[in-house]
Amino acid sequence: MGNKAVQFVVLCLISGLRAEDGGWSRSSELRLEDEGLCNIDVLEGSELSHQDFINRYAFSRPVILRGLTDNTKFRFLCSKPSLLAAYGSMKVRLSTANTHSYRKVDVSFQQYVDELLRPQAADALGSETLYFFGDNNLTEWQNLFDHYESPPYVLPRTSGAYSFGIAGPGTGVPFHWHGPGYSEVIYGRKRWFLYPPEKGPHFHPNRTTLSWVTGTYPNLPEDEAPLECTIRPGEVRQPESLCHH
């Protein structure tokens, strides 16, 4: 049997300003009300068979799927009070929010939530922004992940791995790419910009996503515009492999 690729399932908690937010909302001067257009196919999970997903989307274009799973219990366990009660004293590893994530910092989860989980500063560099995303101790977080129902559409010759993150309004790493994976928002919302593998975007690897959105994105010519959409809880994004995002 040949080697299997790893298929990531990315779980995101985005601190925002909504009711029914699990306690993650916080007062902020930052307002990102513009969700932008959505030029990616959005389908109900019931509209698409596994084989249709493989044939039409898995290896050729991104899609956003709704209603694939019921993660009500997982969502409850990801509320701010629940996570702090279970993991507040646990060490988490933060990465700088630049393309190559050079620096790593270990802090308690409580300290991250209390002191570092805040809106993205407009003038901050990616190397100055610490972000809890992806460096999970899977043994310590396993009790939480056991309650997550992952998307049922498995790609051929892949195995699964979870990546769990929590971030404030306006945050995000600069463009990067990796193998195939799903992304699901548990609280808040996440705006995605996608470029195909053969046509990467122009960006500075140490500038934040917010800097790109406010400075570069509005001036892009039509032929350099990305695919984009904002996803909310209950929606799952699946990009093609190696897609810049």
The answer to whether residue 205 scores a pLDDT higher than 60 is yes
pLDDT of residue 19: 44
For 82, the domain range is 5-238
Q: How many residues can be counted in the chain?
A: 245
Q: Answer whether residue 243 is part of any domain.
A: no
> What CA–CA distances, in Å, run from 193 to 35, 46, 175?
11, 26, 9
Contacts of 20 (CB under 8 A, 6+ apart): none
Q: Answer whether residue 106 is part of any domain.
A: yes
pLDDT of residue 84: 96
Contact 29, 37 (CB under 8 A): no
High-pLDDT (> 70) share of the chain, %: 86
pLDDT in tens, 75-122: 999 999 999 999 999 999 998 877 765 688 999 999 999 999 888 877
Question: Residue-wise over 211-243: b if at least 16 C-beta within 10 A, else e?
Answer: bbbeeebeeeeeeeebbbbbbbbbbbbbbbbeb
Residue 234 vs residue 180, higher pLDDT: 234
Q: Answer whether residue 193 is part of any domain.
A: yes
Q: Answer whether residue 38 is part of any domain.
A: yes
**How many folded domains does the chain comprise?**
1
Give, in degrees to the nearest 5, the angle at Cα 159 between 155 and 160: 95
Q: Answer whether residue 33 is part of any domain.
A: yes
Q: Answer whether residue 207 is part of any domain.
A: yes
Q: Answer whether residue 244 is part of any domain.
A: no
Residue 145 vs residue 6, higher pLDDT: 145
Average pLDDT of the chain?
83
pLDDT in tens, 53-76: 999 998 888 999 999 999 999 999
pLDDT in tens, 165-192: 898 888 877 887 777 888 899 998 889 9
The answer to whether residue 7 scores a pLDDT higher than 60 is no
Q: Answer whether residue 93 is part of any domain.
A: yes
The answer to whether residue 196 scores a pLDDT higher than 80 is yes
CATH assignment at residue 224: 2.60.120.650
pLDDT of residue 69: 92
**Residue corresponding to tokens 């705006």:** 191
pLDDT of residue 13: 57
pLDDT of residue 126: 74
